[in-house]
Amino acid sequence: MHQYDGILLCDKPYGQTSHDVVDSLRVLLEQKKIGHTGTLDPLATGLMVICLGKATKIARFITEIDKTYEAEITLGQCSPTYDAEGIGPEIVSEKVPDLNKAEIESVLSSFEGANKQKVPLFSAVKVNGRRLYKSARKGKIVKTPERDIFIKSIKLIGFELPRVNFEVTCSKGTYIRTIANDIGEKVGCGAYLSGLKRTRVGSYILADALTLEEVDLFKKDGSLTKYIKPIESVLPFPSITVTEEFGSLIISGRSPRQKDIVAVEGEFQPEETISLRDFNGKIMAIGKSEICSSE
């Protein structure tokens, strides 16, 4: 049975979990070794970077890359889940202030930079060995952990109160629905995340992603391989290419010396993630640099 190796960009449909998408791909591609690089909530849509076959070994590195989302929040209501899933007839509506563009932009810009963000109570994060959402559904009060996050940019796309649309680029582990809830607190009327679409993961963009239906179609007509990016071409890290003689020594854990290096692609500092490639460009190892690229 043929195994696909590489990166496939997939457009997650509304209502499915990230695990649902992976399960569907395992059936469509008749392949078990498939993983993704960042969970999207069921009510979110958009880009999932899927690792196939040997590419599953690099999934954790792609997970570290910044992500970009287009989000819609609805002001005037608070949701226990911070998104539309928690909105029901029992939720009380608050009067929405008559905000102008400058006021909304000021609130959004206050989130830029390094922040500590509380994990939502309704999330899959484990506390004391138990997933938070399971405790929340039983009405248990649990102190949720905080995460260090970084908001690279957050920009207003448009608004028609009570709805506000914005684009945000952020570090891994950022909960956009928590940002929605926090915006509601700052404005003073509550807010929840009413729509979310992931549009970018590093250099990967949603416009290049396939739907599950397209994956099925291209698999059947034999053209799917042209949409799968080879592992060597997708790693977003600087790289060092070594001599043909040294290539065989990488597997034994040897670090290259200056005389073993043929080329350096990209800039890096000590302790940054880099890839080591053999003389033919094949990735042999991924690790932390001991020196900077200029040395």
Q: Supply angle C-alpha 235, 150, 187, rounded to 5.
A: 140
Question: Is 268 within 8 Å of 238 (Cβ atoms)?
Answer: yes
Residue-wise over 79-103: b if at least 16 C-beta within 10 A, else e? bbbbbbbbbeeeeeebebeebeeee
DSSP secondary structure string, 3-30? ---EEEEEEEPTT--HHHHHHHHHHHHT
d(CA 125, CA 131): 5
Positions of E strands within 31-129:
34-36, 45-52, 67-75, 113-118, 126-127
Q: What is the DSSP letter of 254?
A: P
Three-state SS at 225:
helix
Pull the structure tokens for residue 158: 């448009």
Q: What is the DSSP letter of 268?
A: -
Q: Any catalytic annotation for residue 20?
A: no
Residue 181: Cβ-neighbour burial (10 angstroms; 0-12, 13-18, 19+): buried
Question: Is 274 within 8 Å of 268 (Cβ atoms)?
Answer: yes
d(CA 47, CA 204): 8
Question: Is 257 within 8 Å of 291 (Cβ atoms)?
Answer: no
Nearest to 52 by CA among 19, 7, 18: 7
Q: How many C-beta atoms surround the C-beta of residue 188 within 10 A?
A: 11
Catalytic residue among 5, 20, 23, 41: 41
Q: Active-site residue numbers?
A: 41
